[in-house]
């Protein structure tokens, strides 16, 4: 029988350490509990018309203050199952509640190639397809085979294949048209038995050049990624944060050309013939905001893309700071930044 708790404090479920209370809260540790949970939630009057919110690691979300009128489901479904193996690859089906980095560590130890560059990203396996997590030249979409879901509308389990997930940069069907429709219960990844290659990313290449390593092992690649991440991203247990707070904007070449007049040294990244990616961190830093404190919220001094909650910030403090940064960057560069984490 599932226990539905009331008025659960949110802060401990948020790596940014903000938020009020969830009106209702339940932990799901076995996918078979979902149908009976829905039977209760939809049939008992007091839960009627209260939206369900699925919580993973709480590392990419900004929670509001006060009582959030939702039934939060904390997904703790754990499993790890090899479902298919050939001489070239292995398909592994993993429970949505598994810690993402524990899963990466395990596959690196098994010498499987594919997600090593995604080492040390906080959060859960179930969250990985939602925002198509990406880092150091890899995106998780390139390894996902299918996503197992509980379809809330039909109240049955189903599978969504990679091609139907509509993956994009930090984007998928789960953030858009399918939002609120599914609960992700497991994800199947295809990982390769091939030799690892150095992630195509300037900082990683430089790390191995400095170490004079030409063909690193998979664990050396994982170690490099962890080292580089630690340099640029604050540990949420020490400095509460939600990772990158803004998306890297993709703009028309002409917009970037205009910036280059004043900043000829700036390094931007072509996306296609007409578009170029301008790092949000660069824009914020060159607006003079790196390390700047906005009361209880600061722009991280080693990486301007990260906002840190330095003194029990409220939701409003975060949003005010966000808006101020967006405005200053817009005034200076005529580019409007977009928030990266979700808001609830
Ligand atoms: N930059 C600056 N100043 C800063 C920060 C960055 O000039 O304060 C410049 C860097 O010098 C570099 C460029 O911006 O030329 C890109 O920086 P970096 O390689 O550190 O990556 P990022 O664009 O800041 C993205 C992801 C990260 C991911 C890294 C590594 C987004 C929104 N962020 O950051 O993802 O770890 O690349 O691949 O795409 C996250 O999503 O939470 C996250 C941490």
Active-site residue flag, 170: yes
* pTM of the complete model: 0.92
> Residues near ligand 1 with C-beta < 6 Å?
135-136, 232-233, 243-244, 247-248, 267, 279, 281-282, 285, 290, 303-305, 340
Give the model's pLDDT for residue 10. Answer: 97
Judgement on whether residues 306 and 325 belong to the same structural domain of the protein? yes
Judgement on whether residues 179 and 84 belong to the same structural domain of the protein? yes
Give the model's pLDDT for residue 122. Answer: 93
Q: Mean pLDDT across the chain, nearest whole number? A: 95
113 forms beta bridges with: 192
CATH of the domain at 184: 3.30.465.10
Q: Give the tens place of pLDDT for each residue, 250-303.
A: 999 999 999 999 999 999 999 999 999 999 999 999 999 999 999 999 999 999
Which of 207, 244, 280, when mutated, tests ligand 1's pocket best, judged by the most ligand atoms within 8 Å of its CB?
Answer: 244
Judgement on whether residues 87 and 187 belong to the same structural domain of the protein? yes
Judgement on whether residues 144 and 51 belong to the same structural domain of the protein? no
Q: Report the domain count for the chain.
A: 3
How far apart, in whole angstroms, are the C-alpha atoms of residue 50 and residue 297?
32
Judgement on whether residues 188 and 84 belong to the same structural domain of the protein? yes
- What's the domain range around 15? 5-75
Judgement on whether residues 36 and 64 belong to the same structural domain of the protein? yes
Q: Residue 4 CA to chain centroid, in angstroms?
A: 27
Give the model's pLDDT for residue 45. Answer: 77
Q: Give the tens place of pLDDT for each residue, 113-151.
A: 999 999 999 999 999 999 999 999 999 999 999 999 999
Judgement on whether residues 49 and 131 belong to the same structural domain of the protein? no
Give the model's pLDDT for residue 101. Answer: 97
Judgement on whether residues 96 and 53 belong to the same structural domain of the protein? no
**b/e for 240-266, b at 16 or more Cβ within 10 A?**
bbbbbbbbbbebebebbeebeeeeeee
Give the model's pLDDT for residue 321. Answer: 98
Which of 56, 75, 94 lies at the terminal end of a domain, its last residue?
A: 75
Active-site residue flag, 340: yes
Could you tell me which residues come within 8 angstroms of residue 147 by beta carbon, excluding any fewer than 6 positions away?
129, 159, 160, 165, 184, 186, 187, 188
- Choice among 14, 244, 287, 298 that is catalytic: 244
Which of 42, 75, 108 lies at the terminal end of a domain, its last residue?
A: 75
Whether 122 is in a domain gets the answer yes
Judgement on whether residues 187 and 84 belong to the same structural domain of the protein? yes
Atom of ligand 1 nearest to the CA of 300: 8
Positions of the chain with pLDDT under 70 = none
Which of 21, 51, 75 lies at the terminal end of a domain, its last residue?
A: 75
Q: How does DSSP classify residue 172?
A: -
Whether 225 is in a domain gets the answer no
């Amino acid at each position: 029988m599932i226990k539905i708790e009331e008025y659960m404090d949110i802060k401990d479920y948020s790596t940014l350490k903000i938020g009020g209370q969830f009106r209702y809260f339940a932990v799901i540790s076995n996918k078979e509990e979902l149908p009976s949970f829905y039977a209760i939630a939809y049939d008992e009057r007091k839960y009627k018309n209260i939206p369900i919110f699925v919580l993973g690691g709480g590392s990419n979300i900004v929670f509001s203050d006060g009582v959030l009128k939702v039934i939060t489901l904390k997904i703790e479904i754990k499993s790890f199952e090899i479902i298919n193996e050939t001489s070239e690859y292995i398909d592994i089906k993993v429970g949505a509640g598994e810690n993402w980095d524990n899963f990466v560590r395990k596959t690196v130890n098994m010498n499987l190639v594919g997600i090593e560059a995604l080492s040390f990203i906080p959060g859960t396996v179930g969250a990985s397809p939602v925002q198509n997590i990406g880092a150091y030249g890899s995106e998780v979409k390139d390894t996902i085979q299918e996503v197992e879901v509980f379809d809330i509308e039909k109240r049955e389990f189903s599978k969504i294949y990679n091609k139907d997930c509509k993956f994009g940069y930090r984007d998928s069907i789960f953030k858009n048209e399918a939002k609120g429709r599914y609960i992700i219960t497991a994800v199947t990844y295809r990982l390769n038995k091939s030799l690892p290659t150095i992630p195509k990313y300037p900082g990683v290449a430089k790390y191995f050049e400095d170490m004079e390593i030409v063909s690193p092992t998979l664990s050396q690649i994982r170690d490099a990624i962890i080292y580089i991440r630690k340099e640029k991203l604050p540990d949420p247990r020490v400095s509460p944060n939600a990772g990158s707070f803004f998306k890297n904007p993709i703009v028309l070449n002409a917009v970037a050309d205009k910036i280059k007049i004043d900043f000829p040294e700036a390094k931007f990244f072509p996306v296609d013939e007409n578009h170029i990616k301008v790092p949000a961190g660069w824009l914020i830093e060159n607006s003079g905001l790196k390390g700047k404190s906005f009361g209880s919220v600061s722009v991280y001094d080693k990486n301007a893309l990260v906002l840190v909650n330095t003194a029990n910030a409220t939701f409003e403090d975060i949003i005010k700071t966000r808006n101020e940064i967006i405005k200053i960057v817009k005034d200076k560069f005529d580019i409007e930044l977009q928030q990266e984490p979700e808001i609830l």
